[in-house]
Amino acid sequence: MERKKMTAPRLVAKKARHEPITMLTAYDYTGARLVDVAGIDAILVGDSLGMVMMGLDNTLPVTMEEMLHHCRAVARGAKYAHLVGDMPFMSYQAEVAEAVRNAGRFLREGGMESVKLEGGQEMVAAIRAIVAAGIPVMGHLGLTPQSISKFGGMRAQGKTAVAARRLVDDALALEAAGCYAIVLEAVPAPVAAAVSQRIAIPTIGIGAGAGCDGQVLVYHDVLGLFDRVHPPFVKEYARLSETIVEAFSAYREDVVARRFPAEEHTYPMSAEELAAFQQALEG
Ligand code: KIV
């Protein structure tokens, strides 16, 4: 079957058809190509790039310029997946007009097709304005990493009846504000399932159980590339860090032992030209 370009409305339609949605993060051209070829529905250029690409401790220092740099590379690599740009800390929280302008930059300068931002009812005004500007918005509730200072660390959310009820209300508010999907991060599975059943737009879970309408994982976690943190909800589908270190070590050993480069890794030169060259050196 011919593969169609995935769009925000097509993601919403997938929920109506009860078809699970797949999303992965990607941060560069090569990674985006691989994710796209695998048939993944959506690529999130997440601000998690602060940790996995830049070596930061959290997402807070990531800037608009850094996000746009990675978005442009991803946009060049992906043909079919829907492209979501993650709005970095302080690019949308302070003022609605600034939120709209920055969201617009993700589409105009970053090649993205929608934006994601974190927060519940307090973000409704910004979401409405961004959507009114023609930019689809994906919400993000639960463990919202830009609020780690408020949470006191990377802690699961929605674990009390009161907090779970607030999460449902936040999801309803985001849907009413015009979001086309909501990421639910690190919330108990029954709470995520209850949210998913109460809204018509898809929920995309990460550490939120099987009751969500889709799932998202971080590129480096799926591939086993990042060993600094191991969230319990991650399933590693490969352990590429070991494969890569093995390959680099084999290369180093080959160079040291003069096994690389071999004849087949060099450019040929005709015998005549070589003879003429040697003569020129001698003369
Ligand atoms: O930044 C990110 O990668 C994210 C996902 C974990 C949802 O927000």
pLDDT at 28: 98
Domain 8-238 bears CATH identifier 3.40.640.10: no
Sign of the dihedral through C-alpha 246, 249, 251, 254: negative
Q: Is the pLDDT of residue 230 over 90?
A: no
Tell me: the pLDDT tens digits for 172-201?
999 999 999 999 999 999 999 999 999 999
Average of per-residue pLDDT across 229-247: 93
Tell me: the pLDDT tens digits for 216-226?
999 999 999 98
Tell me: the pLDDT tens digits for 31-41?
999 999 999 99
User: In DSSP terms, which residues pair with 83 in a beta bridge?
Assistant: 43
pLDDT at 103: 99
In whole numbers, what is the pLDDT of the chain averaged over residues?
97
| Ligand 1 lining (C-beta closer than 6 Å) | 25, 44, 46-48, 86, 183, 185, 206, 216, 218
List 109, 118, 185, 236, catalytic entry = 185
Nearest protein Cα to ligand 1, atom 4: 46
**pLDDT > 90 fraction of the chain, expressed in percent and rounded:** 95
Side-chain half-sphere exposure of 39, counting CA atoms within 13 A: 4
Residue ranges of the domains in the chain? 8-238, 243-282
Catalytic-residue membership of 253: no
Dihedral angle of Cα 238, 244, 245, 251, to the nearest 10 degrees: 150
pLDDT at 1: 78
Tell me: the pLDDT tens digits for 115-169?
999 999 999 999 999 999 999 999 999 999 999 999 988 899 999 999 999 999 9
pLDDT at 270: 98
